[in-house]
Structure 1
């Protein structure tokens, strides 16, 4: 279980992860600095491994005392040699290199978006695909925080409709893969939001799938203990469990 570090406002504020440091970065990244695929999801304790400073938020405790605590890194994704981190309820996506150094710019979110369930980055086109909690559409925005378009709508009758989108990733050829929990499927759209195809999950996957990842190779993550992965074989239009 993840725990937060609380600090009383009168004390010196220090930023330290409550999770033990691990060598995930050295295990995950290859000698060139990246793994075999162009993207991957990363665990929150990687921030501590890389020495990335976690932003602090002030709040009142139940007893009325003002305390400060670390924000959670809800989403961490690597694209190429850059890490993109979304801390809870921030209005930006922060950018770092794979050594933990902050980039000179952050990616602002559109004005009306104050929380994210997931995001995907297209560094080549400098675009963001944004998924909000409780919403049934995808927002496409540029790196300046301006909305380019939205696509998808709530429904269950048409293939292009979404009901409970849970996770997204950009495959090769700029196709967007959407894990749709309501229909227990993965829907594929082109970069303009045009529906292309649909993959139905197996009964085993429906119960436990948590997220989708990858670009050159599409992967879904899940399992009762979050320890299972399936890769998409587009020739047979099915997901095969990774050994």
Structure 2
């Protein structure tokens, strides 16, 4: 196989898996470990991917860029709604449910707003509006705080409010999932607020589509082991499945085929 063809195959594998090992690439390409290492070094020098110990990942370090809600809600709507459907099965009448800010938790709010009567605690104005506009029978507690570009309320007011509460379950949206850094966010204040959410909950369920794997925000919310469950979609790569399966309490993968119509309706509601 020519170098150009190997480089294309390596980049495609990194884009699919987010993080890949040299040994796995060597088996996939049928070449030596030394050849793969040289290819990774060349691709790293070109800025196409990033060389890491024992493998390669998508380029980019710990980020602080935070896309707005309107942009994020248009990304992977089917995957997010499939994850939301899986999460909704865990909610029962009378529960105190935490929903951190995010577009996947917002998708979950769409389902819970027409579900059983619960008490919802959230730091997201968008999520609170879902329940208010739908005339849901549920009680909604919205924290105060400083608003971020992704419409999360963060800072001392939000954190103080959460420290006074107790939740049966927290559904936590995250910016990135990393084997070393854990669950991360690009906003330092949001990380502090999310840590207060985690501390208030008896059970922590992280909602993260497959593109979150290998993405690194500047601040860690929690370690992988702190999640009782992580719900992702069936696009999650094999290496991510192996690592998360070993380190989170439970890894559940949602099928995107069951949520297409619902996700389309939710996206229209966000932009309408």
TM-score, structure 2 length as denominator? 0.27
Which of the two has greater strand per residue?
A: 1
Which of the two has greater helix per residue?
A: 2
Highest relative contact order (Cα 8 Å, sep 6+), 1 or 2?
2
TM-score, structure 1 length as denominator? 0.29
